[in-house]
Amino acid sequence: MDIDFSLVLLILVVISGVIALLDRQLREKDRKAAADRLRSAQQPHSEALQAAIAEAEREPVVVEYAKSFFPVLLIVLVLRSFLVEPFQIPSGSMIPTLEVGDFILVNKYTYGLRLPVVGTKIVSINEPKRGEVMVFIPPHDKRYFIKRVVGLPGDTIRYEDKTLFVNGEQVMAEVVDEAQIEMPNGMMQSGILLNETLGEVEHLTQIINTPQRGNGRTVWVVPEGHYFMMGDNRDNSADSRVWGAVPEENIVGRAFAVWMHKEAGLSLPSFSRNGLIY
């Protein structure tokens, strides 16, 4: 089961904040008053009296933890919701740009400030650009996905014979190397590595050498307020070619850097793949 960490974090912030606020309004004054009454005794410096004062001022454990964790949780919530949020890459759909096990950083404000959990935009800043790598919630699933922005609102996208066209123009893609591509069934297929130019972004993508199969849909018109997303691992990516364009309100942020990588199992994390995402 996938856990919505943002929702959990928001709930913890609310609970700890409410506990701290209620204590301040209802109980804190009573504790201080009880301690002041003890201090007015004739022997204020006796050990027994000092112990009694300390006990009178002692906060309940729940209140103590709530007051301690509230500011920390609030700072983390603000950072994750409005500035930068970390993610881990769970699948190979963005190979060779991103590998399974990459830990990435996502800019949460570049496409506008959004309320945590609900995702409602409250401040508009920039619009997604063609070629950028974006984290979003697809129309068919509630989990976060990561793909590359291929089509903007109003664009016509065509993908035939493993060649990408945007608004009738073929996207530049130069073969740079051969590649061995792992298929979903674990088998390896020979393929090629391409240097593709989308908008102002040059990036690597890969395709297998076998011909494109089937007579499925090859042309899409991107609706207004939507974005057409594709994975860089073109033959191993379920993307907008399968489940359609992504509505603007489902945008999470722009992926901009890899900060750590960890292979599956008990292996230690590595920082060899650190760098910006193009």
| Confidence check: pLDDT of 219 > 80 | yes
Among 11-15, 118-122, 189-193, 219-223, the range scoring the smallest mean pLDDT is: 118-122
Higher pLDDT, 53 or 189: 189
Q: Are strands 275-276 and 251-261 parallel, antiparallel or unpaired?
A: antiparallel
DSSP letter for each residue of 123-176: E------TT-EEEE--TT-SS-EEEEEEE-TT-EEEEETTEEEETTEEPPEEEE
**Which residues are marked as active site?**
93, 147
Q: Are residues 255 and 227 in the same domain?
A: yes
Which pLDDT score is estimated for 1? 41
Q: Of 81, 97, 127, which closes a domain?
A: 81
Q: Are residues 203 and 260 in the same domain?
A: yes
Confidence of residue 215 (pLDDT cuts 50, 70, 90): low
Confidence of residue 29 (pLDDT cuts 50, 70, 90): confident
**Mean pLDDT for the stretch of residues 187-192:** 92
Q: Are residues 191 and 247 in the same domain?
A: yes
Q: Cα–Cα distance between 264 and 122 in angstroms, integer? A: 38
> Domain limits at 185?
89-276
**Burial of 267: CB neighbours in 10 Å, binned 0-12, 13-18, 19+:** exposed
| Confidence check: pLDDT of 36 > 90 | no
Q: Are residues 143 and 272 in the same domain?
A: yes
**Mean pLDDT for the stretch of residues 88-97:** 94
Q: Of 56, 81, 106, which closes a domain?
A: 81
Q: Of 60, 81, 102, which closes a domain?
A: 81
Q: Is the dihedral of CA 93, 97, 102, 105 positive or negative?
A: negative
**Mean pLDDT for the stretch of residues 80-89:** 92
Which pLDDT score is estimated for 214? 58
Which pLDDT score is estimated for 202? 96
Mean residue pLDDT of the chain comes to 90
Q: Are residues 109 and 193 in the same domain?
A: yes
Which pLDDT score is estimated for 276? 96
Q: Are residues 121 and 77 in the same domain?
A: no
Q: Are residues 102 and 206 in the same domain?
A: yes
Each residue's pLDDT tens digit, 151-177 = 999 999 999 999 999 999 999 999 999
Phi-psi region for residue 241, left (φ > 0), alpha (ψ -120 to 50) or beta? alpha
Q: Are residues 110 and 39 in the same domain?
A: no
Each residue's pLDDT tens digit, 245-272 = 999 999 999 999 999 999 888 889 999 8
Number of domains into which the chain is organized: 2
**Mean pLDDT for the stretch of residues 120-143:** 94
The neighbouring-strand residues paired with 191 are 179, 208
**Mean pLDDT for the stretch of residues 85-106:** 95
| Confidence check: pLDDT of 184 > 90 | no
Higher pLDDT, 37 or 269: 269
Alpha-carbon distances of 192 from 131, 176, 188, rounded to whole Å: 20, 8, 13
Q: Are residues 146 and 15 in the same domain?
A: no
- CATH code where residue 219 lies: 2.10.109.10
| Confidence check: pLDDT of 11 > 70 | yes
| Confidence check: pLDDT of 197 > 90 | yes
